[in-house]
Amino acid sequence: MRRSTAARLVTIPAVTLAVLAAGGAAAPPAAPPSASKGPLPVKEPVAVGYGGAVASVDADASAAGIEVLRGGGNAVDAAVATAAALGVTEPYSAGIGGGGFFVYYDAKSRKVHTIDGRETAPGSADASLFLEYGKPIPFEEGMTSGLGVGTPGTPATWDAALDAWGSRPLRQLLKLAERLAKDGFTVDATFRSQTQANEARFRDFPATAELFLPGGQLPVVGSVFKNPELARTYDEIGRKGTGTLYQGAIARDIVNTVRKPVVREGATRVVRPGDLTLRDLAAYGTEQRRPTKVSYRGLDVYGMGPASSGGTSVGEALNILERTDLSGLSQAKYLHRFVEASRIAFADRGRWVGDPAFEDVPVRELLSQRFADSRECLIRDDGVLTSPLAPGDPWNPAACASGGTAAPTTYEGENTTHLTASDKWGNVVAYTLTIESTGGSGITVPGRGFLLNNELTDFSFAPANPAVHDPNLPGPGKRPRSSISPTIVLDDRDLPVLALGSPGGATIITTVLQTLTGVVDRGLPLVDAIAAPRASQRNQPTTELEPALWNSPLRAELEALGHAFRQNPEIGAATGIQRLPDGRWLAAAEKVRRGGGSAMVVRPAA
């Protein structure tokens, strides 16, 4: 969610440190955060120091993670606390009604692990989920409906991560976010503007309108926004465990809401019910998957495997770029290579990547240097590839050949959030979580304080190209393809060098790729690589450019080669963490995008 440049007028109460230490409730602070007269958390895009670090889009959320680290928690504990706080302050981007992908580096074993917490389709779903009379329903009717809601994976992800690698119980970690929801945070211009953008559909759902349009009005900038229902929901999950969301009272509320969405009297919107059942929720489980891995410039780059296409697409593009010395190129030639490698990677992901429980995804072949070389030779220095580009055959790579018919890139919602965390022991987390569109489905679970996702709209409503098998059609219990790309980079000693990720739908892949090459190849400081103006090519006729590139002479240079562009006011909102040679951590976030991000460390140092 985009945030204003002004610092949010709220602090995490100091008493929360005592809560963490005691593992239970503590007396409320003398005054709510909004009335605090003390120093306020300021959004800083970069921080350097010791003891661990957290970077997110939000100062309150980053502060929650830092409190956990100061209380002796590890990076996994901090990531869960930060994510729970983002569910309060970034409710249109993330929350317990959604899902995500969690990548973890374990300092003791020097291994990278991943958790797939992607939402799943109901057991009744099939390839006709979004079809009516054989034709796709309007996208809006899938987006704002029970039909687009998948079984949430975020609470199960927290459980899985804490069970495997955490050191604090979930109940303890939820206390910070619970207090933030109860006491409130200060509304900024972006929270108001994104509420306004959703106002029409929010008004059609009484529970959503009551929560996000208090008194029937848009929230006022500078006012304190409270969510006592979410505070009570966090408390219930803390006391009873996440089982209450998958098999208990919250599960029943979710299913009732999806199957019979409550719409205001007189609304003209077509709101389709979904077919999610208690059995679907009870059957949900996360998956610990093998991370993707490629070697690039002597570094090992680990990412998220299918059903995310992030790891395979970023990895394939890096392999394509491996043969070119990007550090010695002009900015225009560098961008040309970056754009063309992205185009090729998206052509291949559209044909080959889906949920591995349903599709034979050639992960190893897609990430082979042999396949990358067969695709890299398509790139010309004096011309541009035509999109949609046909995919290659990773099982039988042929130099400069494309096989089959092109499949256009389908739409993915762009409002997601990413956090990155590290601790004093050297553990690192890159975690991207989402409810899909800005505001998800628009449907709030009555009395529970959170929006439901519309992640199933990431499926292809119909085959992207009827002549080609589409690996991303709906199926029973199937996970829709994602572009989420949490990434961790290790050196030749298997020590962490860099971790990063971004929101942005399908632009996540290009944002992570551009940031990585900005640091590794172009020599940019991490915070500057994150801030650099972005381009995004996703096997489409035109490449998206942010205004700084759109208005730059570079655009004319690239157009002279044959590139075509359209403008996108903002692409992604990355965060990252870097381990410096002297043992310090550097946390970095956006300088401007989404109102700027918040980078914090436990003990700041110059």
Q: Show which residues are catalytic.
A: 416
Handedness of CA 248, 252, 253, 258 (dihedral sign): positive
Biggest distance spanned by C-alpha atoms of the chain: 70
Phi, psi of 138 (to 5 degrees): -55, 140
Residue 459 has what DSSP assignment?
Answer: S
Tokens of 289: 């998957």
Alpha helices by DSSP H, 168-268? 170-183, 189-197, 199-203, 206-212, 228-240, 243-246, 249-259
Geometric angle at alpha carbon 105, from 419 and 100, rounded to 5° = 40
Which residue bears the tokens 């979410």? 230
255 touches 277 (CB < 8 A): yes
Which residue bears the tokens 């009395």? 447
190 touches 595 (CB < 8 A): yes
251 touches 244 (CB < 8 A): yes
563 touches 543 (CB < 8 A): yes
Q: Which residues contact 78 (CB under 8 A, 6 or more apart)?
A: 52, 54, 65, 66, 68, 69, 421, 423, 429
Phi, psi of 565 (to 5 degrees): -130, 155
What strands, in cross-sheet order, belong to the sheet with 543-545?
535-536, 543-545, 565-567
Tokens of 510: 């290009």
Tokens of 178: 């619970």
| Helix (H/G/I), strand (E/B), else coil: 97 | coil
Residue 327, number of CB atoms within 10 A of its CB: 12
219 touches 192 (CB < 8 A): yes
Alpha-carbon distance values, 215 to 123, 209, 232 (Å): 39, 9, 21
Round to whole Å and give the CA distance between 130 and 561: 40
| Helix (H/G/I), strand (E/B), else coil: 145 | coil
Q: Which residues contact 56 (CB under 8 A, 6 or more apart)?
A: 62, 65, 82, 86, 417, 418, 419, 420, 575, 589, 597, 598
CA dihedral 540, 545, 546, 549 (to 10 degrees): 170
Geometric angle at alpha carbon 83, from 573 and 528, rounded to 5° = 25
Q: Which residues pair with 302 in a beta bridge?
A: 293, 488
Q: Which residues contact 44 (CB under 8 A, 6 or more apart)?
A: 598, 599, 600
